[in-house]
Structure 1
Amino acid sequence: MDDILYGARDKRGNWTPNKRPERAPIFVWPVQPKKVIRWLPGYFLPWNTLYFVISLVSWIYLTPALDTMREFRADWILLILLRNAGLTLLVYGSFHFILYIQRRQETNFKYNAKWPDTDNTAFMFGSQTAENVFWTMCSAVPVWTAYEAATWWLYANSYLPYVDFGQHPVYCAILVLVMPVWRELHTSI
């Protein structure tokens, strides 16, 4: 796919799309059922299905039981920290490997045609990628884990309402389908 068909590069090499992204048809009024039906496969496949599978596997195999999380203990918090670090490496690392190491897409659709610096004293380790990895793993993942651990503790101690899939499968299934729509609403405005 050639990015020049969908946009242009300025004299610095920065890419700009020809037109603004359109709203998802589910948010267009009056409702256009044919457009919504044509949009649905792209809504589910591949990304939202992949995110759902990753979430489901994480939930079933890599999240401690709710009873375990009634007290703040290092064992279950460390498990969540390691899971989050692993997910970060898996997801972002996969994108980085394909787009920046293998450069499969070259600079197509890359807003800034310049590649990350590898020998620049402005970055902590001289490398833009190494600095990004450091701050992601040593700052973002621990903060994410702290919020998640606090939330699980609040659920486990009934300070926040917890909806169990086993007791409310239809409600939970609807929530799973609505979450990506909620995200789409915020990205299409």
Structure 2
Amino acid sequence: MASTDTPTKEAEPDSKNVGPMSREWHWHPELPVKYAPYWLWPAQPRRLAKWVWQNWLQFSDRSIFLALAFLVAFWVQPVGQEQTSFSLGWVAWVFLRNWLLLLIVAGGLHHWFYGIDGQGKLLKYDPRPYSKRKNALFKFDYQTWDNVYHSMVFGATILSLFECFLRWSYASGLITTLSFSAHPIWFVLMFALLALWQSLHFYVVHLVLHQPFIYRHVHAVHHRNVNTGPWSGMSMHPIEVMAYLSAILTVLILPSHPVHMLFLGYWLMLGAASSHSGYEAIWAKDRQALLLGAFFHQLHHRYYECNYGNAEMPWDKWFGTFHDGSEEATRSTRDRKRTMHS
């Protein structure tokens, strides 16, 4: 049965409500789930240009992370000579800023969706309400407090440790800083390449995390969140946090500028909050205010043994773990899950 609180197609150009595929969903985007159009063959330049415009150049979580990276890299805290040695001043500023950013993004999204109930169930994937009841499965007996604890104590903290090490590496010359003036094409393309790299890294790491022993002792902390919220994104065991965020270390190899490192860091940490919000978009004043679009990963939290990567690259499709949102894919995933755990 279709949701009655769905926005119009005109207001939401990339996604239309076609009625939930089953009673398991309150709302979902147009099915089947699609990958970014980099991989279409024959190529569709107009569709690719539209996707790049909507995701990179218009107002989206991705463009926000990009703008934030430029703001920090060139104005708030550029890499400077003082970062050739570790001192309390600049290191503390890195930690404080990352804690504050996660608090603003994850806390703000949580407050809008689940605090003041800013849009009710409009564009909400899961028909069940976000749990605010006591549950002994979670630390402090509540999902939100458990998620906040893991996100702030491990998530933002470990990202800050990586960032401090990489800032020191840039400042010390261990990493050659790539300038826009010297290599403008590579400088721009690097952002897209980092997104593709993160997709590969996430798929491989995630696949390892789902091996039974590692899942049971590490990844299960994250998967306690079946009905996710913004704070669920970085709610992980510290071992998983380190593995997940280690994608940022690619700048030790690829020619880059600190703005690239910061963009990838924000994509990993803040993007986890937006991709676990449980909603397709922020809807305010009768229009889509900010596209989040994370149904691909929502399917993973519902069915577990599928969609280990993300929609940036079709790794799951290539390796037979793709769930496209259909009932047939649900049956196939459940069969594979029974086989894996039998």
| Smaller-chain TM-score bracket | 0.7 to 0.9
Question: More displaced, 153-162 or 106-115?
Answer: 106-115
The change in CA–CA distance for 1:145 and 1:19 in structure 2 (over 3 A counts) is: same
Residue number in structure 1 paired with 2:55: 43
Identity of aligned residues (%): 20
Residue number in structure 2 paired with 1:5: 18
Instruction: Give the counterpart of 2:135 among 120, 124, 145.
Output: 120
The structure with the largest alpha-carbon Rg is 1
Instruction: Give the counterpart of 2:33 among 21, 25, 28.
Output: 21
Instruction: Give the counterpart of 1:81 among 86, 95, 102.
Output: 95
Unaligned runs of 5+ in 2: 7-15, 201-308, 315-342
Which residues in structure 2 correspond to 1:1-189 (within 5 Å)? 2=6, 5-10=18-23, 13-14=24-25, 17=28, 19-44=31-56, 45-47=58-60, 48-107=62-121, 108-111=123-126, 113-165=128-180, 167-176=182-191, 178-180=193-195, 187-188=310-311, 189=314
The DSSP-based 3-state class of the residue aligned with 1:156 is: helix
The change in CA–CA distance for 1:113 and 1:4 in structure 2 (over 3 A counts) is: farther
The alpha carbon displacement at 1:71 in A equals: 0.8
The alpha carbon displacement at 1:59 in A equals: 1.9
The alpha carbon displacement at 1:168 in A equals: 3.7
> Could you tell me which amino acid in structure 1 is paired with residue 120 of structure 2?
E
Q: Give the Cα–Cα distance (whole angstroms) in 2 for the partners of residues 155 and 50 of structure 1.
A: 24
TM-score normalized by structure 2? 0.48
> Could you tell me which amino acid in structure 1 is paired with residue 39 of structure 2?
F
Cα offsets for 1:75-101 (capped at 9, x unmatched)? 111110011111111221221122111
Query: Number of residues paired by the alignment?
Result: 187
> Could you tell me which amino acid in structure 2 is paired with residue 27 of structure 1?
W
> Could you tell me which amino acid in structure 2 is paired with residue 163 of structure 1?
L
**Any conservation in 1 of the 2:180–2:187 contact (CA below 8 Å)?**
yes
**Any conservation in 1 of the 2:72–2:78 contact (CA below 8 Å)?**
no
The change in CA–CA distance for 1:163 and 1:38 in structure 2 (over 3 A counts) is: closer
Unaligned runs of 5+ in 1: none
Q: Give the Cα–Cα distance (whole angstroms) in 2 for the partners of residues 33 and 169 of structure 1.
A: 22
The DSSP-based 3-state class of the residue aligned with 2:148 is: helix
Q: Give the Cα–Cα distance (whole angstroms) in 1 for the partners of residues 41 and 17 of structure 2.
A: 31
The DSSP-based 3-state class of the residue aligned with 1:20 is: coil
**Any conservation in 2 of the 1:24–1:184 contact (CA below 8 Å)?**
no
Q: Give the Cα–Cα distance (whole angstroms) in 1 for the partners of residues 59 and 198 of structure 2.
A: 16
**Any conservation in 2 of the 1:62–1:83 contact (CA below 8 Å)?**
no
Question: More displaced, 157-166 or 24-33?
Answer: 157-166
Q: Give the Cα–Cα distance (whole angstroms) in 1 for the partners of residues 159 and 125 of structure 2.
A: 28
> Could you tell me which amino acid in structure 1 is paired with residue 153 of structure 2?
C
Question: More displaced, 138-147 or 97-106?
Answer: 97-106
**Any conservation in 1 of the 2:38–2:48 contact (CA below 8 Å)?**
yes
Coordinate RMSD, CA, aligned: 2.9
The alpha carbon displacement at 1:177 in A equals: 5.0
The change in CA–CA distance for 1:9 and 1:97 in structure 2 (over 3 A counts) is: farther
Q: Give the Cα–Cα distance (whole angstroms) in 1 for the partners of residues 17 and 186 of structure 2.
A: 45
TM-score normalized by structure 1? 0.80
